[in-house]
Amino acid sequence: MNDAPLLTARGLSKHYGPRIGCEAVSFDLYEGEVLAVVGESGSGKSTLLKLLATETPPTAGSVHYRMRDGAVRDLFALTEAERRFLLRTDWGFVRQDAREGLRMSVSAGGNVGERLMAVGERHYGRIRGTAIDWLGRVEIDGDRIDDLPRDFSGGMRQRLQIARNLVTHPRLVFMDEPTSGLDVSVQARLLDLLRGLVAELGLAVIIVTHDLAVARLLSHRIMVMRHGRVIETGLTDQVLDDPSEAYTQLLVSSVLAA
C-alpha cells in the first residue's frame, strides 16, 4: 500500500453569497481509509462532499488527488476530459436519492453496464456477465437484470446504485447519506453489505451521515462538522466514546435529533 495520501484537502471553503457552506476544511485521506463526516443538518457535509467530487468550485482552498499513475494533481486544475475519467472510473458517488444516482429509464443491467462501457468495454456478452455478477454481489437476483429501477424497492435501488458505482473498481467512493430514508431493517442489511464490500475491495470512502451508528459501523475515522467547520476529528470509536467538544458530546448523547 502506498504511504502517500490519496487525497489532500487544504483550507477548503465554500460560501454561497454571505452564507457559509463550509469553511477552512483540511484533511488527508489514505487508500483503504473510511472517513465519516457527521454533524446535524445544515452543517456543511454535503457541500464538502460536492467540493471534493469537483461538482462545485471552492471559494478558497485546494484538493490534491493521487492518480493511478502516481501523479498528484490539483483537482480544480484538471481538464474536463481528466475530470470525466475520474468520475467514471476512479471514483464512485452513491447518493441518498437513488433517482439521482441511477438512470431510471434504463434497465438494472444497463445501469451497471453503462459504467463499464465508459471505460472502454464493448463486448456485449462480457458486459452482461459482469452486470449479472455485480447484481449478485449486491444481492439482486440475476433475473431482474432487464427490469427498470423504477420497479425496485428503495433498498434494492440503493444496492443497484452501489453495484453501478463499484463495477469499475474505483479507488475512492463518495457517499451522501446512503442509508437515510430506508426502513431500519433495510438499512441494516445495506450497511452489512457496504461494510463487506468496502473491506473486501479496500476502498477509500468519504461518507456523509447524520447517523452516528452508521459512522461507527463503517468508518475508521470521523470528522464532526458544525456551522461549516470541522470541530473535532479522530479515530471513530475514540470520538464517539470519549468526545471532547461540547457539541460532539451533545451529538453522542443523542439530545440532538438530526
Partner 1 sequence: MTEPLVSLSGVAKSFTLHLRDGMRIRVVDNVSFAARPGECVVLGGPSGAGKSSILKMIYGNYRCDTGTIAVRDGAEIVDVAKAEPRRILALRAHVMGYVSQFLRVIPRVSALDIVAASAAESGLGRQDAWCRAERLLTLLNVPERLWSLPPGTFSGGEQQRVNIARGLAPDRPLLLLDEPTASLDAANRAVVVRLIEEKKKAGVAIVGIFHDEDVRDKVADRVIDMAAFATEKAA
Binding footprint of Mg ion on the chain (CB under 5 A): 46
10-29: contacts with ligand ADP (CB under 6 A): 16, 19, 21
Choosing among Mg ion, partner 1, ligand ADP, none, which partner's interface includes residue 16 (Cβ < 5 to 8 Å by kind)?
ligand ADP
Contact between 46 and ligand ADP (CB under 6 A)?
Answer: yes
CB 221 within 8 A of CB 5: no
Contact between 232 and partner 1 (CB under 8 A)?
Answer: no
Per DSSP, helices labelled H in 34-102 are 45-52, 80-85, 98-101
Paired sense of beta strands 72-74 and 60-66, if any: antiparallel
CA 173, 176, 182, 183: dihedral to nearest 10 degrees? 90
Nearest to 251 by CA among 191, 217, 210, 208: 210
Region class of 121: left (phi > 0), else alpha (psi between -120 and 50), else beta: beta
Contact between 82 and partner 1 (CB under 8 A)?
Answer: no
The residue range among 39-47, 74-82, 84-92, 96-104 that interacts with ligand ADP, by the rule CB under 6 A, is: 39-47
Nearest to 179 by CA among 240, 98, 246: 98
Among 7, 13, 33, 92, binds partner 1 (CB under 8 A): 33
141 versus 237: smaller Cβ distance to partner 1: 237
The residue range among 43-51, 134-142, 205-213, 243-251 that interacts with partner 1, by the rule CB under 8 A, is: 243-251
- Angle, helices 154-166/108-118, rounded to nearest 10 degrees: 20
101 versus 110: smaller Cβ distance to Mg ion: 101
3-state secondary structure (DSSP) of residue 3: coil
What is the distance between the alpha carbons of residues 208 and 135, in angstroms, rounded to a whole number?
Answer: 25
105 versus 253: smaller Cβ distance to partner 1: 253
Choosing among partner 1, ligand ADP, Mg ion, none, which partner's interface includes residue 250 (Cβ < 5 to 8 Å by kind)?
partner 1
15 versus 216: smaller Cβ distance to partner 1: 216
3-state secondary structure (DSSP) of residue 155: helix
Binding site for ligand ADP (CB under 6 A): 16, 19, 21, 39, 41-47, 241-242
Interface residues toward partner 1, by CB under 8 A: 30, 33, 188, 192, 220-221, 234-238, 241-242, 244-246, 249-250, 253, 255
